[in-house]
Amino acid sequence: MEKKHHPGGSTCSTRTERKFIERERRSQMKALYSNLNSLLPPQTSREGISSLPDQLEEATNYIKKLQVKLEKMKEKKNTLLGTIHQIPNNRSPQIEIQQMGFTLMVVLITALDSHYFMFIEAIRVLHEEGADVVSASYKVVQHAVFHTMHCQVGEYGNGAAARISERLKKFVNDSTYCPF
């Protein structure tokens, strides 16, 4: 292939190469922007946002919100872990209940040697109150056991959730150490 020289010392093949490289770069950047936009949740990623700077700003805002949420969750975890030191000494269980719509998240913290009894009784109370236990898990940390139960309270909403919460708190506060 014969190269034609242009003023300034450039050649046609060099110009064509640069165009090809630039086209590839733009194509790759477009794919990366699209990939980034696809990672955003639907409520954040709006179709009306068409400019790349707007998409980048949305992604940046979403990441910042996730960072704040992560920090709050770390603080909550540290708060819960801070209660562990109280459990082996006085052996009193603790409970935290959060309601999100028709869902309850129950966190029961017990001493290691009484966790089975407390867990079974908490499940029994939930079933008696008509809650459907969707999942239950536990984690042992030092001398304490963290039980997490996710429940559906059905159509009754706040009334059932309040009643369940009251019963579980009464059960935990009234219970005494009872190992098997």
Range of the domain at 172: 94-176
Contact criterion met (CB below 8 Å) for 157 and 130 = no
Q: Does residue 133 lie within any of the structural domains?
A: yes
Pairwise CA distance, residues 98 & 161, whole Å = 9
Q: Does residue 45 lie within any of the structural domains?
A: no
Q: Does residue 72 lie within any of the structural domains?
A: yes
Work out the widest C-alpha separation in the chain, in whole angstroms.
94
CATH number at residue 147: 3.30.70.260
Q: How many domains does the chain have?
A: 2
> How far does Cα 14 stand from its chain's mean position?
51
Which tokens go with 103? Answer: 């869902």
| pLDDT value for 26 | 92
Residue 111 sits in the same domain as residue 138: yes
| pLDDT value for 19 | 92
Residue 101 sits in the same domain as residue 155: yes
| pLDDT value for 52 | 79
Residue 35 sits in the same domain as residue 58: yes
| pLDDT value for 176 | 53
Q: Does residue 46 lie within any of the structural domains?
A: no
Q: Does residue 109 lie within any of the structural domains?
A: yes
Q: Does residue 2 lie within any of the structural domains?
A: no
Pairwise CA distance, residues 1 & 53, whole Å = 42
Contact criterion met (CB below 8 Å) for 110 and 119 = yes
Residue 110 sits in the same domain as residue 62: no
Backbone angles phi, psi at 107, to 5 degrees: -115, 120
| pLDDT value for 20 | 93
Read off the pLDDT of residues 77-97 as tens digits, 9 standing for 90 and up: 777 766 555 544 446 788 888
Q: What length does the chain have?
A: 180
pTM of the model: 0.47
- For tokens 């009784």, the residue is 121
144-152 sheet: strands from edge to edge: 94-100, 103-111, 144-152, 132-141
Q: Of 8-17, 43-52, 90-99, which gets the smallest average pLDDT?
A: 43-52
Residue 69 sits in the same domain as residue 143: no
Residue 75 sits in the same domain as residue 132: no
Read off the pLDDT of residues 113-167 as tens digits, 9 standing for 90 and up: 776 788 888 888 888 888 889 999 888 887 788 889 998 887 655 577 788 888 8
Q: Does residue 48 lie within any of the structural domains?
A: no
Backbone angles phi, psi at 129, to 5 degrees: -85, 5
Pairwise CA distance, residues 92 & 78, whole Å = 19
Residue 128 sits in the same domain as residue 108: yes
How many CA atoms lie within 13 Å of 41's alpha carbon, on the beta-carbon side? 7
